[in-house]
Structure 1
Amino acid sequence: MITEVTIKDVTEITAIYNHYIRESVATFDTEEWSVEKMSERIQALSSAYPYIVFRMPEGKIGGFCYAHPWKEKDAYSRTLETTVYVSPEYTGRGIGQKLMEKLIDICRKRGFTTLIACITEGNENSFSLHRKLGFEQVSHFKKVGTKFNRSLDVIDYELIL
């Protein structure tokens, strides 16, 4: 079941995100987040932009997804960047796709015109998901991030709503 995020979700969302900080290059954050920092971020984003979670039948968070400003200048106000993370214990079940489909629908209904996904090289599951949802590759930045002593590329995908 997909619902809007609530403050009760912050601990599980923090744990999921910290897994990706420790174990992957899906995020360029290198230091784990505190529950307090995540709570502030969720409150700031969800007050103005879509922020949703996938609840498993037993009530646990299977994943989360949100949109946030792509750039800060007013001319970009109809364009958002998307973020989606699935709990490592629930990957491969289509949760990311369901979350992204719902997020796209919400963004369309709210009058946003463009979604951008910034994906680190090697994240083939994310590339595949975004292509399946109609996103098209629009850029490839080389060696723009460093994590785990590796220089990493970032590939941007775009969906015109």
Structure 2
Amino acid sequence: MEAADFPSDPTISLREAAESDLPAIVEIYNAAIPSRTSNADLRLITVESRLDWFHAHSAERRPLWVAVHEGRVVAWVGLSDFLPRYAYHITAEASLYVDPSLQGRGLGPWMMQQLIDECPQLGVENVISLVFAHNKPSLKVHERLGFERWGLLPGVTKLDENRGDVVVLGKKI
């Protein structure tokens, strides 16, 4: 996880998230809510509501990393259990959020690739991402990273008054 591996800005570093990063993680997540393109929450979430989620991550199995630029958390990426039953332990769901001011510069794909590269050491054989079908930029990033379309969940979301599909993207490690 060397910052020098990120080609467009070597001043960005990637590290394991600390609980003290949770306010910044929540702020970045909340910034995506109004667009209705990258998460299914319709109202802002709180730090307190994310404490259990944060503690479900571990460096050894389901990491949560943050990108830091000039002392500020500007993005996060992590793996979560895909489903709770044990047979699914070889499959993890990836999540990635980038501060709007840094989107479109390659930071997200770089972070996701770092996470993918770590998967063999974590015992992860499959990475899954659930992406809204109308989120074309995210679909393109996943495609460039070698994800394939493994499924479609038609009409499973209602964002305000709009029904939406979710694309299941997967990558075998």
Flag whether TM exceeds 0.5 (same fold): yes
> Percent of counterpart pairs with the same letter?
28
> 2 CA distance for matches of 1:82 and 1:149?
27
- Contact 1:5–1:46 (8 Å) recurs in 2: no
Number of the residue aligned with 1:50: 63
Give how far 1:152 is off: 0.4
Q: Determine which of 148, 151, 155 is the counterpart of 2:163.
A: 151
- Contact 2:81–2:92 (8 Å) recurs in 1: yes
> 2 CA distance for matches of 1:142 and 1:68?
23
Give the TM-score of the pair, scaled to structure 2. 0.87
> 2 CA distance for matches of 1:40 and 1:158?
26
The DSSP-based 3-state class of the residue aligned with 2:171 is strand
Give how far 1:155 is off: 0.4
> 1 CA distance for matches of 2:76 and 2:143?
19
Give the TM-score of the pair, scaled to structure 1. 0.93
Task: Give 5+ residue unaligned stretches, structure 1.
Answer: none
Task: Give 5+ residue unaligned stretches, structure 2.
Answer: 1-12
Number of the residue aligned with 2:18: 6
The DSSP-based 3-state class of the residue aligned with 1:85 is strand
- Contact 2:62–2:122 (8 Å) recurs in 1: no
Q: Which stretch of structure 1 is more off in the superposition, 62-71 or 20-29?
A: 20-29
Q: Which stretch of structure 1 is more off in the superposition, 109-118 or 47-56?
A: 47-56
The DSSP-based 3-state class of the residue aligned with 2:21 is helix
Q: Where does structure 1 differ by over 6 angstroms across 4 or more consecutive aligned residues?
A: none
> 2 CA distance for matches of 1:155 and 1:129?
13
Give how far 1:100 is off: 0.3
Number of the residue aligned with 1:30: 42
RMSD, aligned α-carbons: 1.3
